[in-house]
Chains A and B, each alone.
Chain A
């Protein structure tokens, strides 16, 4: 919103169009050292269709000529530096002041992942966790009070190498886990391993990165036996049985307090009605399951989701057998948008941002009255209501704006979304 507002402001305050033309000189400099930054791409646009381009020279200098006296947007693409906000340049006279663009070098984390024997591991999956900052929405419940959230994902190449670039100064963790490539030689006893050689976030070694700093973080994956967690999958009464071979269930086991996008996981064919996780370390977890019908879309993009479950479990130092999972049918959630008296009525976009690790897709509706949210999966979901003033979103006693939805264990009442009036004089 901020750049748009600035642009509006600039356009209003810069209406000195004349027949004269001007040249704009500028320089790109390193914000830390003041040294010139060469080879920066610069784009100056009067409108969307007619941009002009320049590149900074060895002294970081650039020049645009024959510019009308207008307001322009100036954008910068500087490899190796953080992308600055675009700026509005208002040229009101033939000799405008020089534009100095200060660029902050980005930080980089690189490293190599090896197996427990020191052999480079190809196709391993990496996540970069960054310290959460004020204003970020709360994480899903299984993250507990984790101060870190996933920022980037990557994979090792054939030499076991990875690289996270374009990072702001801050505190980070790197964790490596099982990849999904066929050439990944990840054994079942390999554990998700943080930089520093530990398997849990609380013991992991954070990396403090300054602007422009390059840090090397090699990780040797930890091998640890753990225990087995297994049981049966029990589908609800009346579940299709004639073509049951084409129902399948994904399961995942997410460690409590974990911020990873890719936790331990298993893939279970429901026709077997059995599941098994291997080499699970002691600790608290959330177990999630989601059953789909493969016949509903052979291509797999839009398969119907039928049943789900989410339950906490605690794993000790012994195998857990017979942990049967009774799946519940997924539910549609009805609701209603209510406008406060006297407020204008318009179409409100309601989107469900699903935090489940097992589903994809973002159900949404446009409505000014009653609605039904379908295609919701199991797990916690965040409701996103696009309206200038949302007074409240409630599901019975639950404040959905604050607590989110937990599916399918929602109350039977409909969602009630109350929209207020926009204060006069406020810009949309």
Chain B
């Protein structure tokens, strides 16, 4: 990528809080007039517009508290956020606004009749926690009464467009989720590639799919008497995308128009309460009907999961906060005690995602190193990144391993000609996850805190607005050898010297 960034280091301590610079179009280099520039992280920070030459000045005097950076917004461009450390010059900031790509069009049914309220998702393959997954890039849009949608603010890239219409599926169960080229699974033919500043028209057509029929009956465990709770209970196939079938008075259920795939078949209300009936099993759907599925239900009661926080290498466990997000219902929270023990209470069947954060001291103490979570396992399985399911088996116990260790490493980023490079984001990746990052500052310096020794791959992103590149498999492949891997050891580490590869080698 052609580099336009030119930082001029000036001292000027008197003007340390004033930010001044120019906004240009990242493709053409032309000044961008009328862009909205506002300070970040302070109070009463003024908002200014760029003049006809793309120039702006945010005066420090107008701000009630110091601000840490600024953001630049202009219709037709992707917003740009920039932090500017106080020890770095805030003058002559050059901001390259990347023109947005737009995908828009009209969703129709098989006869070309517009579909109102269809949900349009823009997806692309991304690395999430080390796995390549098809994930949403922006918030899904709904088509209007004309069947039209418009999704703006996209970076250039290769996208898949997935369309569904809950309203139409509820009307006719054959209208399931599908990609813009009509396929049920993502394939190369369905890729839509857009360049920066480009507008592409994509008119998806929702086709009816007969699919197959999945049928069976609801069965009670031995000793439990059939009661009225299971009659007319909903039977869900997969997530909430397919309208549920209903259990008949004889316990039978029939789900029609199920397309091939692996599904979780579930009977019971989506948001469960204690005492309700629930059962589920996984079914693999191919191109033939599936009959005689037996869904065994049981009365659900909340369960507790106990666990312990331990410190890698031993030591007093820090107090940690736990947050659980269930696939339905309210979140659950807990905290570990002095001995590291904790109990997650009142979990109903379903999937849970989990977040574990250290309890922060009050008032804030910058010198206190907070714990970092290395792993969380239950029954030998990782539950920190993938979450866990509460089903029929007894859950737990959970073990959470944290570290108090912090290895601080400094470094310098130089350009191909040996000049200091500012404003780049240096990211250290291990096992497909970013484990540390830093924006280069005056003289190209950066500093990153690690919690674990080991070998890290290094990527240098154009700026801190482009984190999404780290989840782009194509970008990662193209840049995996830009810098040699670095080995971080416990204790003291030498300064890391990074030199940007020549521009011709960079995409």
* A55 adjacent to chain B (CB < 8 Å): yes
Digitize B298-331: 1 where CB-to-A-CB distance is under 8 Å, 0 elsewhere.
Answer: 0000000000000000000000011111000011
- Per DSSP, chain A at the interface is loop
Residue of A nearest to B79 (CB): A183
Digitize B71-83: 1 where CB-to-A-CB distance is under 8 Å, 0 elsewhere.
Answer: 1011110010000
- Given A77-B171, A79-B116, A246-B360, answer yes or no on A302-B331 (Cβ-Cβ < 8 Å): yes
Residues of A within 8 A of B288 (CB): none
Residues 141-200 of A at the B interface (beta carbon under 8 Å): 157-160, 163, 165-166, 182-185, 187-188
Instruction: Specify which of A75, A120, A182, A271 is in contact with B79 (CB 8 Å cutoff).
Output: A182
CB distance from A241 to the nearest CB of B (A): 7
Residues of A within 8 A of B44 (CB): 278
Instruction: Specify which of A53, A79, A182, A295 is in contact with B145 (CB 8 Å cutoff).
Output: A79
* A4 adjacent to chain B (CB < 8 Å): no
Residues of A within 8 A of B360 (CB): 243, 245-246
Separation of A166 and B172 alpha carbons in the complex (Å): 21
- Given A119-B75, A302-B331, answer yes or no on A183-B355 (Cβ-Cβ < 8 Å): no
Judge whether A158 and B246 touch: CB under 8 Å.
no
B120-128, B146-154, B188-196, B219-227: which lies at the A interface?
B146-154
- Given A163-B145, A243-B362, A246-B360, answer yes or no on A298-B73 (Cβ-Cβ < 8 Å): no
* B339 adjacent to chain A (CB < 8 Å): no
- Given A39-B113, A120-B75, A245-B362, answer yes or no on A297-B171 (Cβ-Cβ < 8 Å): no
A43-51, A125-133, A377-385: which lies at the B interface?
A43-51
Residues of A within 8 A of B341 (CB): none
Separation of A241 and B363 alpha carbons in the complex (Å): 9
Residues of B within 8 A of A121 (CB): 75
- Given A43-B172, A79-B114, A301-B325, answer yes or no on A106-B145 (Cβ-Cβ < 8 Å): yes
Judge whether B171 and A298 touch: CB under 8 Å.
no
Instruction: Specify which of B71, B102, B109, B321 is in contact with A158 (CB 8 Å cutoff).
Output: B102
Separation of A121 and B152 alpha carbons in the complex (Å): 14
Judge whether B152 and A158 touch: CB under 8 Å.
yes
* A258 adjacent to chain B (CB < 8 Å): no
Separation of A296 and B345 alpha carbons in the complex (Å): 13
- Given A242-B362, A243-B359, answer yes or no on A49-B113 (Cβ-Cβ < 8 Å): no
Judge whether B145 and A157 touch: CB under 8 Å.
no
Digitize A67-81: 1 where CB-to-B-CB distance is under 8 Å, 0 elsewhere.
Answer: 000000001010110
Residues of A within 8 A of B34 (CB): 117, 119
- Given A120-B75, A183-B79, A185-B73, answer yes or no on A298-B150 (Cβ-Cβ < 8 Å): no
* B290 adjacent to chain A (CB < 8 Å): no
* A108 adjacent to chain B (CB < 8 Å): yes
* A403 adjacent to chain B (CB < 8 Å): no
* B263 adjacent to chain A (CB < 8 Å): no
Separation of A188 and B43 alpha carbons in the complex (Å): 12
Judge whether B323 and A298 touch: CB under 8 Å.
yes
CB distance from A367 to the nearest CB of B (A): 14
Judge whether B145 and A297 touch: CB under 8 Å.
no
Judge whether B47 and A299 touch: CB under 8 Å.
no
Instruction: Specify which of B71, B102, B331, B357 is in contact with A301 (CB 8 Å cutoff).
Output: B331
In this complex, which of B75, B114, B115, B171 has the most chain A Cβ atoms within 10 angstroms of its Cβ? B75
CB distance from A82 to the nearest CB of B (A): 11
Residue of B nearest to A55 (CB): B111
Residues of A within 8 A of B254 (CB): 49
Residues 228-253 of A at the B interface (beta carbon under 8 Å): 241-246
Residues of B within 8 A of A166 (CB): 145
CB distance from B318 to the nearest CB of A (A): 14
- Given A79-B113, A79-B116, A158-B100, answer yes or no on A183-B362 (Cβ-Cβ < 8 Å): no
* A122 adjacent to chain B (CB < 8 Å): yes
Judge whether A49 and B256 touch: CB under 8 Å.
yes
* B276 adjacent to chain A (CB < 8 Å): no
Residues 71-124 of A at the B interface (beta carbon under 8 Å): 75, 77, 79-80, 106, 108, 117, 119-122
Judge whether A299 and B145 touch: CB under 8 Å.
no
* B144 adjacent to chain A (CB < 8 Å): yes
Judge whether A41 and B171 touch: CB under 8 Å.
yes
* B364 adjacent to chain A (CB < 8 Å): yes
Residues 57-75 of B at the A interface (beta carbon under 8 Å): 71, 73-75
Digitize B97-132: 1 where CB-to-A-CB distance is under 8 Å, 0 elsewhere.
Answer: 000101000000101011110000000000000000
Residue of B nearest to A106 (CB): B145
Residues of B within 8 A of A241 (CB): 362
CB distance from A305 to the nearest CB of B (A): 13
Separation of A157 and B103 alpha carbons in the complex (Å): 12
- Given A158-B75, A296-B333, answer yes or no on A245-B113 (Cβ-Cβ < 8 Å): no
Residue of B nearest to A48 (CB): B246
Residues of B within 8 A of A117 (CB): 34
CB distance from A79 to the nearest CB of B (A): 5
Separation of A55 and B171 alpha carbons in the complex (Å): 13
* B36 adjacent to chain A (CB < 8 Å): yes
Residues of B within 8 A of A246 (CB): 360
CB distance from B336 to the nearest CB of A (A): 13
Residues of A within 8 A of B256 (CB): 49
CB distance from B147 to the nearest CB of A (A): 7
Residues of A within 8 A of B357 (CB): 298
Residues 295-316 of A at the B interface (beta carbon under 8 Å): 295-302
* A391 adjacent to chain B (CB < 8 Å): no
Residues of B within 8 A of A39 (CB): 111, 113
Residues of B within 8 A of A41 (CB): 109, 113, 171
- Given A119-B34, A158-B75, answer yes or no on A53-B359 (Cβ-Cβ < 8 Å): no
Residues of A within 8 A of B100 (CB): 158
Separation of A391 and B421 alpha carbons in the complex (Å): 76
Judge whether B73 and A183 touch: CB under 8 Å.
yes
Residue of A nearest to B35 (CB): A185
* A273 adjacent to chain B (CB < 8 Å): no
Residues of B within 8 A of A271 (CB): 362
Separation of A120 and B77 alpha carbons in the complex (Å): 13
* A276 adjacent to chain B (CB < 8 Å): yes
Digitize B245-268: 1 where CB-to-A-CB distance is under 8 Å, 0 elsewhere.
Answer: 010000000101000000000000
Instruction: Specify which of B47, B145, B322, B364 is in contact with A187 (CB 8 Å cutoff).
Output: B47
CB distance from A119 to the nearest CB of B (A): 6
Judge whether B355 and A299 touch: CB under 8 Å.
yes
Judge whether B75 and A159 touch: CB under 8 Å.
yes
Residues of A within 8 A of B144 (CB): 163, 165
Residues of A within 8 A of B111 (CB): 39, 55
Residues of B within 8 A of A75 (CB): 171
Judge whether B145 and A80 touch: CB under 8 Å.
yes
Residues of B within 8 A of A122 (CB): 75, 152
Residues 274-307 of A at the B interface (beta carbon under 8 Å): 276, 278, 295-302
Separation of A106 and B71 alpha carbons in the complex (Å): 41
Residue of B nearest to A276 (CB): B43
In this complex, which of A55, A159, A185 has the most chain B Cβ atoms within 10 angstroms of its Cβ? A185
15 A-B pairs with C-beta separation under 8 A: A41-B109, A41-B171, A49-B256, A55-B113, A75-B171, A79-B113, A79-B114, A119-B34, A119-B75, A158-B152, A185-B73, A243-B359, A246-B360, A295-B359, A299-B331
Instruction: List the 9 closest pairs (A to B, CB-CB), nearest first.
Output: A298-B323, A165-B145, A158-B152, A185-B36, A302-B330, A301-B331, A297-B331, A302-B331, A39-B113
Besides the contacts A157-B150, A245-B364, A301-B331, what 15 more A-B pairs have beta carbons closer than 8 Å? A39-B113, A79-B114, A79-B146, A160-B75, A165-B116, A165-B144, A183-B153, A185-B74, A185-B75, A187-B36, A187-B47, A295-B333, A302-B330, A302-B332, A302-B333
Q: Footprint of B on A, CB under 8 Å? A: 39, 41, 43, 48-49, 51, 53, 55, 75, 77, 79-80, 106, 108, 117, 119-122, 157-160, 163, 165-166, 182-185, 187-188, 241-246, 271, 276, 278, 295-302
Q: Footprint of A on B, CB under 8 Å? A: 34, 36, 43-44, 47, 71, 73-76, 79, 100, 102, 109, 111, 113-116, 144-147, 150, 152-153, 168, 171-172, 246, 254, 256, 321-325, 330-333, 335, 355, 357, 359-360, 362-364
